[in-house]
Structure 1
């Protein structure tokens, strides 16, 4: 088998159907009975889920306990970031240095190869479905809580014209108690002007609650929480990874880059559990036989097991075993096994690893 690179792969895929997860490429005379494919390399996607808590002090926090019996109001503005979860999953990207050509004999019955849209091999002489690996986004997705309306819009003219801050606090507190009394009267049916129907009742109660919360926030302060999510992708080499800083996280700034010392590091450790050691020294004859085997056969990956840890803030958040293509080796299927026209051999691969899942004869 001959080695070809991405240029040939692009030409072969140009006529394939682009709208599906996989494409079927037939080995026919027009492409010299050959189909190009690519093997993947493993990626590690570290995802962090966090919250951003924004606390704002109310204008009248000094009077919170005196008028509303609120003993712990927010007294200063601050923003706090907290990591809630760290996860790590494996993915795959095409390895541009591992593109090959499957060559079939011209007499082989209708041979074809199923590929992903990126050219990763899924199957030979068989259909196979591939669920694309979700790509990691390097931007934070935020979900902001619904903000309260400006409480000043609910203040009476008397309150706005009050001569002192203490007097304003007193008048606002009376307005809050009046809202509570009105709501209780509606709940008990004792209000002079009851809502005429269920929809009106719901609308009135929602407005009363909203006004009370907005005015109370002028004493207690306001706290809003946003959900943040951010992912980072690491592509291992053939070497182990020891406490590599993937990114940093600050309680005051949130997600920051790995070089920013304002944040505490989130680290990745990846250790090959099946190191192959030094390759054996082959005689010229054995080396030629080995090279011929790889030149003509169908190359596939045999991943190796690795232990993975993700640490942050003196805690291990992820500790598990995974398969890593870069730590493994490659082997070859000989072309002769596909030459049986009566019972064509089918080979199913794990596309995300380029490893054999099943051989059907």
Structure 2
């Protein structure tokens, strides 16, 4: 029914002349006080979440197997970085190459355009669409990682120990004492049992104390997360271009910093070329987009794909127009998607 209505409107539109004009702002505008609107182009937003992993050798690591019976121990200090997650999203910005000026004409509905605050076209005779702008990401200041070893249970034996070997022996005994106390608390093998809340608090403190003491032997691992955002506005396909590099010392660095390993971005046009737009019907009409599609891929230094997503990419499509004669009817309502520039509907 909508397609029949559109066809009827198009056929009848050519029977009546109009003074409405629409010209590209890059050209010489032959009139003043025009209404300016823009079609969108798509920004690809890539959020990269990386984690810095710090491994520290415990001061008693040489005595771990002797006193605790395990070889699972950190024997060398190290810092490594890894990409944990990649999120791809999009946002629309005005396309300076496709910004148009409408000559005001009270007899034409072209004079009743709706725009977003940034000037993107929403349609004619319809309420403007509120832009759902993404809030600017404010990265919380990372907490200073605790790189110290804690030994808060300073018994008399530990304070009197005169060698690393003796200190390791005393610390190991403390670990076994904590484990024995935990078993007694859990099994109720105590002269006087505390209430439920007190039991939970005691267990938490035991776990914390045992973990601190175990780190003296097996070492400790500290992780520091970080997120970096990249914005790309491709005008054509992108094939294996370096988006960023990952450095062992500095984490995510720029594409030209050769201290890091490269991560590659590919943007492949996936637009269905068989989609035909409406006949332009000459110049001076209302311009809109038939947005395209693209497959965005991010690969690691070895070529493994870590993210692949299909997105709508406005600039990979085509520019179409509705004929100017169509807009003699002031009651005509046209809806345009401001995020893609696509024609959504035409109604009386």
Q: TM-score, normalised by structure 1?
A: 0.75
User: 1:256 aligns to what?
Assistant: 253
Q: How many residues align?
A: 316
Shift of 1:149: 8.3
User: 1:354 aligns to what?
Assistant: 341
Alignment CA distance shift 1:261-1:109 (3 Å): closer
1:335 aligns with 2:324: yes
Secondary structure, aligned partner of 2:193: coil
CA RMSD of aligned residues (A): 3.3
Between stretches 351-360 and 328-337, larger displacement belongs to 328-337
Contact kept? 1:52, 1:81, Cα under 8 Å:
yes
Q: Distance in 2 between matches of 1:259 and 1:115?
A: 40
Shift of 1:209: 1.2
Alignment CA distance shift 1:271-1:200 (3 Å): closer
Q: Distance in 1 between matches of 2:93 and 2:62?
A: 58
Q: Distance in 2 between matches of 1:86 and 1:308?
A: 12
User: 1:225 aligns to what?
Assistant: 223
Shift of 1:334: 2.8
User: 1:21 aligns to what?
Assistant: none
Shift of 1:150: 5.0
- The correspondence of residues 244-323 of structure 1 with structure 2, limited to 5 A, is 244-272=241-269, 293-294=282-283, 296-313=284-301, 314-323=303-312
Q: Distance in 1 between matches of 2:240 and 2:141?
A: 28
Alignment CA distance shift 1:175-1:46 (3 Å): same
Q: Distance in 1 between matches of 2:116 and 2:109?
A: 23
User: 1:178 aligns to what?
Assistant: 177
User: 1:210 aligns to what?
Assistant: 208
**Unmatched segments (≥5 aa) in structure 2:** 1-20, 27-31, 274-279
Secondary structure, aligned partner of 1:55: strand
User: 2:17 aligns to what?
Assistant: none
- The correspondence of residues 154-165 of structure 1 with structure 2, limited to 5 A, is 154-165=153-164
Alignment CA distance shift 1:109-1:235 (3 Å): closer
Q: Distance in 1 between matches of 2:165 and 2:56?
A: 20
Q: Distance in 2 between matches of 1:265 and 1:67?
A: 44
Shift of 1:109: 7.5
**Unmatched segments (≥5 aa) in structure 1:** 7-30, 277-289
Shift of 1:340: 1.8
Contact kept? 2:109, 2:124, Cα under 8 Å:
no
- The correspondence of residues 1-361 of structure 1 with structure 2, limited to 5 A, is 1=21, 3=23, 35-107=35-107, 112-127=112-127, 129-130=129-130, 132-134=132-134, 151-195=150-194, 197-237=195-235, 239-272=236-269, 293-294=282-283, 296-313=284-301, 314-341=303-330, 344-361=331-348
